[in-house]
Structure 1
């Protein structure tokens, strides 16, 4: 053959021979090589096998055996040279080496940086940050880059140098490896993002890692999709309370504001949470109650039941945390273009705006304002003497919603202030009135403007004659002072102090007006015992309200229930057979408001714990508890108020084993819950007491 043809033929022969040898590696040999290479590379890089614990790379630096590392390095390089000599260090080996190096890097990142979220503020480099546009590597990213350069790149250079064939690691390759490692760290932080949110602000370092690494629209989309899925699994389900969800939402707002000042990411992940919050009936009440919380409750046990974080934010910096006007772009000296993945209706907001975001999540501002009016109305009708907290919060809300939106609240506060003054004037007028009542003047009223206060319903019943007489005189004097106005008494919301003189004791209780009217029927001039029907006809009171009042006095051991649904006064406790010792007492509080009647306010009373009725078995008690849970579920998820007939119908439909009680038995059971303060009766319908 001519020399040129011979060289070409020889080159083809060697090519085919190397291809045959290079592709002759069996599956068993490949698996064995992967295992041996992986073990040696982990020893050299100081990374433990997956699942064997944390701290891989740092263990090597702090206390690993240097001789063992050097032995593993020599053995690894000798193995590479041997594979090269027999022709097995071709493309398949290079792919295997790259896969192993990538997997070890992922294990190192998880072992070393999982859960490491300490803030970077203690580093000198963080103090020079002047703008969100300055990309400075967080501590974890810098440490990881150093590890890639000093360990991974060194090993790659040593291995490729022994493979021959002109392979060489360039500076561009090193930068790509650092980028890949940073992406792996970002994937870890995305998996941890929910825990980072819950742990805020101690997890600020993890957010810094994400902010540095999440720079492309693809990675931003990956973050929001993964976090939304985690929200559905770990937060947005019936097992989490509304208070927990709102606390997590507050942490989300603050975390995502740190992660992305444009708020594009927050808007993406928050939509499902906002929609879910709208299905929770108590969402608005919890937010409003948190805003109206006392600043002294921030570090108290109240944190378990109230969103006290809001009152912290409210008085830290009102402009920063929710009540500032929307930012104007032309005023922003640090303006930057919107992100490429922002929507068409995107509007940048600079402030964290925690409270404003929470209120915006409720949908229409009218929903929040209506609930705010209801709660502030309850507080204004309490026994509090001053309302500085309510006035301060109202002033801050006006900055956000405008004066006109909260005009009704202004009128409510003015009513309470004017009412105290007017009540004093009416009392002084009663003393000099020609038709003054021939007894001590004990009636006080809160006089409210009908059009500006929330609807409270009305329950009519007959009051004691002396109370009606005082009401008429009060009304007469009021109409003389205010000729253009008429009074309408809401007796069911009033309260009265009742003193009962029994043969062996004196009972003094602060009660609702309808409870006072019921016990008055058993007093002087009344009968010592009444049947339910006779008492109902005398007082003209709603049956549910009457049942609740009788249950209250039975619980207080003032009345006892006899046969034929008759109630009698217990003059001496010794006359009543006590099958169980008297129940212990506890101090509880209940809120009530009134626009008329014998005063109004927050009552603190001694309320006995309900003992198990005589003769009730443990099985019966458990059955009653199951029924109560069904009723709570219906009033929470189906309808906030229900009449007796609807509750009975739904119980018969929902109970798998049937509902054996009659309407009378169910009414008595609900009356017990009203007496216990679990239920209240509004307009003839039962409603859970908001706590």
Structure 2
């Protein structure tokens, strides 16, 4: 009897539980795939009491939440993503996203009464259970919605979202812009929505934009659904705005304007997005404000990175325009401090220099101008000198390979017109070579800064050498080459002038002595003194009564040189001057011997200037020419027709040289080539109306002196025998060891030639190219015979 009674009681309880479950389905119609509530609050209270009596709360909560998740997965999420169809029409994409969010919000709002009842169900539980880590029912619901939607992402969802926010951003940026700027005919277009003014939709777009964002915020979907698209869209806008700002000249700083634009436009728009329409930051919650600040930090870094990369791409042009481009350099310096793009700058600028500067199509003076501008600009960009040292290394190597580099540098120093090198020379700083040590007592340790991590510690003191002239000298590692080139250039200038004026040369010499020292330029002082003495001696000869008594065909003056102090002359032929000229020079030499006693003159007949007056039948010509040109035309005074071979024999000049020189008179219309290597004097001009103003200038005067590089090459040959002896005994040696031994043995004693390490490397590399040396594994050795 007791057992039967227990079975009946269990059956009754099972029946009661089944009845309650049916009532729960009635209370939570989501179990029957409906969202509408079907029972009243009184009925739900009664059902809740029965659930408590049967202790089914935990099971019911689980069933309802799983049912909600299933319904959203099967119905709500597919309906939402069905709006994201592929389209290229921005307006259509805007409508699609707006409709998708509106539909999603409407669908999820219908769950609120059910969630409220579920919350009451949960609150009546004695235990604190949780689903998905959320105790709050609404939090669980939002988490389910977020996870379900993101698990069913549509393929083109970012395109539709981008259309929506691009239109909204364009409206926001152009709300205050006057529409009259884009008038077409009698109609005007709104810059915000690109519609005619009468049909402007900007206000409607702004309203839809704010409402859509508010709904996404309420559903906690804004960041996860829109964040990446917003970042991408804003990054594109930042790149476009930065590129537009950098298109202008480099003489205006752009960072302040860009930062202001980021704050007033981009961040203001983001604030409106995350606040659902409010433009005031204080009205935001602390969590939202933190999110916006993180966004701002990322966008600010991207702005600086984009701007810095753009300026790096333009850096070659910025350097060429320096110092006008100083604001752009300062912006780039700030950008490098806030980004990690030093390596990118070095690689980009070196590529630009090699492509646009370091090739045979660019003249050496232009390369030097760009190099000097780079020194100034990179010094401002990085005061430590690390960037300058790294970037300009290929420039220095290329300049060493050009034969006219030293001459161009020296010519720039002596230029009377305003130039960078001439200005540097006037500063009067002493020369600083890389091999010389820097006095640490002169350092301002209060302003000391450690070298960047990419610096070469072995060259720390060398980077303090910031003087431009010193850096140019250090390209070769020795000042001897520059001093010799100056001697050669000074000799050319003194020999080419028609007077004894040396005031300008003396001024340049005094400035150079402050740079290179008086001992290095002693020979140059003697050369200028020769000019002064020549003026005095010539005056004495011209006033000598015994010299003036004799009849002179033409006036004669001479520049008397101390041969041992002047640079060596080029190997020239012995020009045979006309007899009358030789007689006149002999009379001048006789007067000099009478004045100086035991000293005489050794003439250089191919050097000097001759003032000629040529009288032809229909014209007269006055011009200054070289002695060889004068000798050529004087021979046509007695004979109208000459061949090259005849002239070569009469003048003792090689036919190849004579053929080149005689073209000058042909270009002047004085001579005519009537047949191959046969020339005739033209008494009458072929062009009757030809004026003397149309006469072609004389060909460029060639230097009479051997170039400094040729002189230096000859001096360095002194070391060759030592190097051959070392390598014969020791088989192979590195560059540093060769240099050390040369300093020990070959550079001692008076008049010894010094050679720096870079210059020695250049000399040995030339021997390698000439197959007189072999270089392998960092070692030099003699080739096997």
Partner of 1:633: none
SS at match of 2:576: coil
State the distance in 2 between where 1:20 and 1:240 align.
65
Answer yes or no: is the 8 Å Cα contact 1:262–1:348 preserved in 2: no
Partner of 2:521: 406
State the distance in 1 between where 2:661 and 2:551 align.
29
State the distance in 1 between where 2:201 and 2:423 align.
56
Partner of 2:532: 417
State the distance in 2 between where 1:441 and 1:581 align.
31
Q: 1:548: how far off?
A: 3.8
Q: 1:98: how far off?
A: 2.2
Find the partner of 2:421 among 297, 304, 310: 310
1:495-534 equivalent positions in 2, closer than 5 A = 495-500=609-614, 502=616, 507-523=621-637, 526-534=638-646
| TM-superposition CA deviations, 1:233-264 (whole Å, max 9, x none) | 33334444333333332322222222222222
Q: 1:104: how far off?
A: 2.2
Change in 2 beyond 3 A, CA 1:190/1:515: closer
1:226-375 equivalent positions in 2, closer than 5 A = 226-294=348-416, 297-298=417-418, 308-315=419-426, 317-319=427-429, 328-333=439-444, 334-344=447-457, 345-347=459-461, 353-361=467-475, 364-375=478-489
Answer yes or no: is the 8 Å Cα contact 2:672–2:679 preserved in 1: yes
Partner of 2:153: 25
Find the partner of 1:111 among 227, 244, 252: 244
Answer yes or no: is the 8 Å Cα contact 2:428–2:515 preserved in 1: no
SS at match of 1:493: coil
State the distance in 1 between where 2:261 and 2:660 align.
73
Answer yes or no: is the 8 Å Cα contact 2:431–2:515 preserved in 1: no
State the distance in 2 between where 1:250 and 1:72 align.
56
Partner of 2:185: none
SS at match of 2:564: coil
Q: 1:414: how far off?
A: 1.6
Partner of 2:288: 168
The answer to whether the aligner puts 1:453 opposite 2:566 as a matched pair is yes
Answer yes or no: is the 8 Å Cα contact 2:358–2:367 preserved in 1: yes
Higher helix share: 2
The structure showing larger relative contact order (alpha-carbon pairs under 8 Å, at least 6 residues apart) is 1
State the distance in 2 between where 1:25 and 1:340 align.
46
The answer to whether the aligner puts 1:545 opposite 2:657 as a matched pair is yes
State the distance in 2 between where 1:47 and 1:364 align.
66
Change in 2 beyond 3 A, CA 1:90/1:547: closer
State the distance in 2 between where 1:103 and 1:154 align.
17
1:556-595 equivalent positions in 2, closer than 5 A = 556-562=668-674, 565-570=677-682, 572-573=683-684, 578=686, 582=690, 585-586=694-695, 588=697
1:3-18 equivalent positions in 2, closer than 5 A = 3=57, 10=65, 11=131, 18=146
Change in 2 beyond 3 A, CA 1:514/1:202: closer
Q: 1:193: how far off?
A: 2.2
SS at match of 1:405: coil
1:403-482 equivalent positions in 2, closer than 5 A = 403-428=518-543, 431-432=545-546, 439=552, 442-457=555-570, 458-479=572-593
SS at match of 2:156: helix
State the distance in 2 between where 1:223 and 1:340 align.
15
Answer yes or no: is the 8 Å Cα contact 1:182–1:213 preserved in 2: yes
Answer yes or no: is the 8 Å Cα contact 2:500–2:531 preserved in 1: no
State the distance in 1 between where 2:313 and 2:228 align.
27
Q: 1:466: how far off?
A: 2.8
Answer yes or no: is the 8 Å Cα contact 1:119–1:202 preserved in 2: no
State the distance in 2 between where 1:321 and 1:208 align.
28
| TM-superposition CA deviations, 1:578-628 (whole Å, max 9, x none) | 4886476147466759999xxxxxxxxxxxxxxxxxxxxxxxxxxxxxxxx
| TM-superposition CA deviations, 1:443-477 (whole Å, max 9, x none) | 32211122332333222132222322333344445
SS at match of 1:236: coil
| TM-superposition CA deviations, 1:494-551 (whole Å, max 9, x none) | 232334555665554432222332333344xx54544433333233221133324543
| TM-superposition CA deviations, 1:340-382 (whole Å, max 9, x none) | 3321112276686334334444554333333322222221121
Answer yes or no: is the 8 Å Cα contact 2:667–2:696 preserved in 1: no
Structure number with larger C-alpha Rg: 2
Answer yes or no: is the 8 Å Cα contact 1:284–1:362 preserved in 2: no
TM-score (norm 1): 0.67
Change in 2 beyond 3 A, CA 1:522/1:108: closer
SS at match of 1:341: coil
CA RMSD of aligned residues (A): 4.2
Answer yes or no: is the 8 Å Cα contact 2:492–2:703 preserved in 1: no
Say which is worse superposed, 406-415 or 215-224, in terms of deviation: 215-224
Unaligned runs of 5+ in 2: 1-54, 66-130, 133-139, 182-190, 278-283, 706-785
TM-score (norm 2): 0.60
Unaligned runs of 5+ in 1: 54-58, 121-139, 299-307, 597-691
State the distance in 1 between where 2:542 and 2:361 align.
54
Q: 1:217: how far off?
A: 8.2
Find the partner of 1:208 among 330, 334, 338: 330
